[in-house]
Amino acid sequence: MPYLFTSESVSEGHPDKVADQVSDALIDNFLAYDSKSKVACETLVTTGQVVLAGEVKSEAYLDVQDIARDVIRKIGYTKSEYMFEANSCGILSAIHEQSPDINQGVDRTSPEEQGAGDQGMMFGYATKETENYMPLALDLAHKLLIELAAVRRENKEITYLRPDAKSQVTIEYSDDNTPIRIDTIVISTQHDDFDQDETMLAKIKSDMINILIPRVKAQLKPELQALFNDQITYHINPTGKFVIGGPHGDTGLTGRKIIVDTYGGKGAHGGGAFSGKDPSKVDRSAAYATRHIAKNLVAAGVADEILVQVSYAIGVAKPCGVFVNTYGTSKVNMNDGAIARKIEEIFDLRPYAIEQRLKLRNPIYSETAAYGHMGRENQVVTKVFNAGKKNEKKVEVELFTWEKLDYVDKVKAAFGL
């Protein structure tokens, strides 16, 4: 019997994502000036106020206020009527030095024996459902908001948009787990104030359906375009007016959108957030490593859908265990336990090895902090820090290294494919 599955996304102007982006901008700046930095940084945003807290061990000195304001400005909080504005918001820093009790479990004389920064389990997932090996509902939810932000910045076709927004996509699947059609699309977007409520709400709904949706649809392959039809249920700003939003409407905190950041509810999640953490924290680095493994295994033809779990003890380099679930889609003549053991032979899952393989000691994290950490485009870019100042620094970095299909040949050889 057909079934429905739903995933949501939030925009870069959502208060939790504002917090994530500030935290990851701090990570990038620390790593740009000291690649050995150890950082765990949390951000809180509310009406007219930003609070930075966390632990840092670094040789770099940062103007954290300037970094935070730059992030907020780029997102689009630049008007006083938003009640949260880049130039005027108060910024309180409570960042202090990292506990030596934690650091002694991470640093080692031999870098290869670097211990995990914490205990816990991390999951990576991949599916053949989309070109980027991501669940379709989440992929579409992200695309809607990426395009909505582009429309907002253009300020031509739609001129009343504000930065905060959320989306949700429900897809109907057949018994064999194939997407049949899009059942429901939800979009809630913050907007400028207006006098005629009903007239303007009708315009917003019309603009989302007749301007935004066609722009997103045009980016998709024909087989995905076919999932759109006139039977879709649309809920556009279903509560009515959405003028008060962003950090003024809701307090935002780093790490509260972990399902948006990963697989939209598909697969599993170990519970650890990513943003604000340097790669010695396996919550982040091992989640990227398991995504890299799952994606390469699916691309190599080991299975159509794969979940990979890895777990660690704090201060210990070797993982406690590796688990695999292929959901009955395996194409190789071995059970999931044997596949897990084969993964341990192919991929070194010690924290230092992950950092080196995926180039995680580079300032690559600001780009991850909105629209998902997984399924993004691997590319090389040049980033500039403190532009125009005497300590300006340009760094060429490779983004989203965990999305590379660079182990497909090794996987095929190991599994005899």
CA angle 150, 154, 157 (to 5 degrees): 100
The answer to whether 55 is annotated as binding is yes
What would the DSSP string read from start to end of 29-45? HHHHH-TT-EEEEEEEE
Q: What is the pLDDT of residues 36-83, one digit of tens each?
A: 999 999 999 999 999 999 999 999 999 999 999 999 999 999 999 999
Q: What is the pLDDT of residue 216?
A: 97
Q: How confident is the model at residue 117 (pLDDT cuts 50, 70, 90)?
A: confident
Using the structure block, give the residue that is written with the tokens 């031999």.
110
Whether the pLDDT of residue 108 is over 80: the answer is: no
Once rounded to an integer, what is the mean pLDDT over residues 238-244? 92
301 shares a domain with 222? no
Q: How many helices (H) and strands (E) does the chain have?
A: 13, 13
Helix extents (H) in 155-228: 197-207, 213-217, 222-225
- Residue 309 in marked binding region: no
Q: How many CB atoms lie within 10 A of CB 95?
A: 16
Q: Is residue 1 very low, low, confident or very high in pLDDT (cuts 50, 70, 90)? A: confident
How much is the CA Rg of the chain, to the nearest whole Å? 22
Q: Is a pLDDT exceeding 70 seen at residue 242?
A: yes
Q: 149-153, 192-196, 202-206, 285-289: which range is least confident on average?
A: 192-196
Task: Answer yes or no: do 295 and 407 share one domain.
Answer: yes
Residue 85 marked in a binding site: no
pLDDT tier, 101 (very low <50, low <70, confident <90, very high otherwise):
low
Task: Give the model confidence (pLDDT) of 302-329 as tens digits.
Answer: 999 999 999 999 999 999 999 999 999 9
Of the candidates 15, 13, 12, the one whose C-alpha atom is nearest the C-alpha of residue 253 is 15
Domain count, the chain: 3
As to burial, measured by CB atoms within 10 angstroms (0-12 exposed, 13-18 middle, 19+ buried), residue 22 is buried
Residue 256: inside a domain, yes or no? no
Find where tokens 């194939």 sit.
Answer: 178
Which 8-state DSSP code applies to residue 377?
P
Which residue, 355, 337, 370, 383, is CA-closest to 292? 355
Residue 183 labelled as part of a binding site: no
Q: With bands split at pLDDT 50, 70 and 90, how would you rate the model's confidence at 99?
A: low
124 and 144 together in one domain = no
What pLDDT shows up at residue 33?
96
In whole angstroms, what is the distance from residue 316 CA to residue 62 CA? Answer: 31
In a domain, 310, yes or no: yes
Is residue 410 a known part of a binding site? no
Q: Are residues 308 and 407 in the same domain?
A: yes
Q: Is residue 182 part of a domain?
A: yes
166 annotated as ligand-binding:
yes
Which of 245, 273, 297 is the last residue in one of the domains? 245
Tokens of 147: 């395009």
Known binder of ligand: residue 14?
A: yes
Are both 397 and 297 inside the same structural domain?
yes
pLDDT at residue 102 tops 70: no
- CA-CA distance, 296 to 403, in Å (whole number)? 9
H helices of 218-357, in order, are 222-225, 246-249, 258-261, 282-300, 336-346, 351-357
Residues in the chain: 417
Measured between alpha carbons, how far is 41 from 55 in angstroms, rounded to an integer? 6
Residue with tokens 């299909």: 405
Residue pair 45/82 in contact (Cβ under 8 Å)? The answer is no
Angle at 268 between CA 217 and CA 312, to 5 degrees: 135
Domain assignment present for residue 254? The answer is no
Residues 280 and 186 in one domain: no
Judge whether residue 182 has pLDDT over 80.
yes
CATH code, 346: 3.30.300.10
Dihedral (CA of 79, 82, 86, 91) sign: positive
Does residue 69 lie in a domain region?
yes
182's tokens: 């899009």
**Is 242 marked as a binding-site residue?**
yes
**What pLDDT, on the 0 to 100 scale, is given for residue 193?**
92
Tell me whether residue 277 is annotated as binding: yes
What pLDDT score was predicted for residue 106? 64
Instruction: Give how far the C-alpha of residue 14 lies from the chain's centroid of Cα atoms, to the nearest Å.
Output: 13
In this structure, the answer to whether residues 180 and 94 fall within a common structural domain is no
The encoded tokens of residue 394 equal: 């340009």
In a domain, 390, yes or no: yes
| Cα–Cα distance, 325 to 267 (Å, whole number) | 9
Q: Is the pLDDT of residue 100 over 80?
A: no
**124 with 140, same domain?**
no
Across the range 195-221, mean pLDDT stands at 93
- Angle of helix 408-415 relative to helix 336-346, nearest 10 degrees? 130
Residue 112 has pLDDT above 80, yes or no: no
Q: Are residues 160 and 48 in the same domain?
A: no
DSSP H stretches of helix in 76-169: 100-106, 136-154
Residue 96 φ/ψ, nearest 5 degrees: -135, 180
Is 409 known to sit in a ligand binding site? no
Q: Spell out the residues 6+ positions from residue 2 whose beta carbon is closer than 8 angstroms to its own.
A: 172, 173, 174, 175, 180
Tell me if 250 is assigned to a ligand binding site: yes
> Quick check: is 252 in a domain?
no
**Do 279 and 214 reside in the same domain of the chain?**
no
Domain extent at residue 69? 15-106
Q: What percent of the chain has pLDDT over 90?
A: 90
28 is annotated as contributing to ligand binding: no
Whether residue 306 is contained in a domain is answered as: yes
Same domain? For 378 and 274 the reply is yes
CB of 364 closer than 8 Å to CB of 32: no
Stronger pLDDT, 111 or 214, i.e. the higher one? 214
With tokens 């649309």, the residue in question is 234
If you average pLDDT over residues 99-120, what whole number do you get?
Answer: 71
The pTM (predicted TM-score) of the whole model is 0.96
Q: Is 165 annotated for ligand binding?
A: yes
Verify that 124 and 271 share a domain, yes or no.
Answer: yes
The response to whether 98 counts as a known ligand-binding position is yes
- C-alpha to C-alpha distance for 98 and 109, rounded to whole angstroms: 19
Q: Which of 211, 245, 279 is the last residue of a domain?
A: 245
Q: Is the pLDDT of residue 264 over 90?
A: yes
